[in-house]
Amino acid sequence: MRKMDGRRRRVFMIFTIGFVLLSQPGFADAAEPLQERSGIITMKGKPVTVVGSEITIGQKAPDFVAQATDMGDVRLSDFKGKVKLIASVPSLDTPVCDMEIHRFNQEAATVARDVVVLFISMDLPFAQKRFCGANGIQNVQTLSDHRRADFGMRYGVLIKDVRLLSRAVFIVDAQNIVRYVEYVQETGTHPDYDKALKVLKETEQQGQTANK
């Protein structure tokens, strides 16, 4: 009888732990089969595999959860009613990413209040905060995908081989419809700034016209 009671207790504990894990945000989604795409992105010239479906223009932008520099959760839905430029990068502490965030930080100073520029990477929130403080980045909001890789999987930029994000740019309008997508083929090269900023300006103007 004692052996049976002990066994029942172990089964109950396993069931309870499993229930707690499954209830964690992002866990159930991560357990679902995810599409893997190979050969479309290179890193230092070497083809890599990215996890997640490709985002297309005209679709509803998937919501996601990432961490701000204060470790608090931030979701796409937190920016309701705003036009969003979202740039994913491998790491802020690399030359191309450094130049990219400085360029978008400069451009973000000229956009309207209903436009937000988000930079997301696998860098820890503490590292992002240090980087922005040391480099005067004030107009771009950095987000960390390190905890769940939720953005990476939902937007098809999670590099399976190294668990970093590939370089990409997405523009999402105030109704959360995707208006622009660029998956940069080689992670060590820059995105098309001029084209992205042109679409951002057009999306901003369309939103202002719709609100009149």
Sheet with 178-183, edge to edge strand ranges: 73-75, 65-67, 141-144, 115-121, 83-88, 168-172, 178-183
**Angle made by CA atoms 134, 135, 141, in degrees to the nearest 5:** 100
d(CA 44, CA 41): 10
User: How does strand 115-121 pair with strand 83-88?
Assistant: parallel
d(CA 166, CA 48): 10
97 labelled catalytic: yes
Catalytic residue among 61, 97, 165, 178: 97
Known catalytic residues?
97
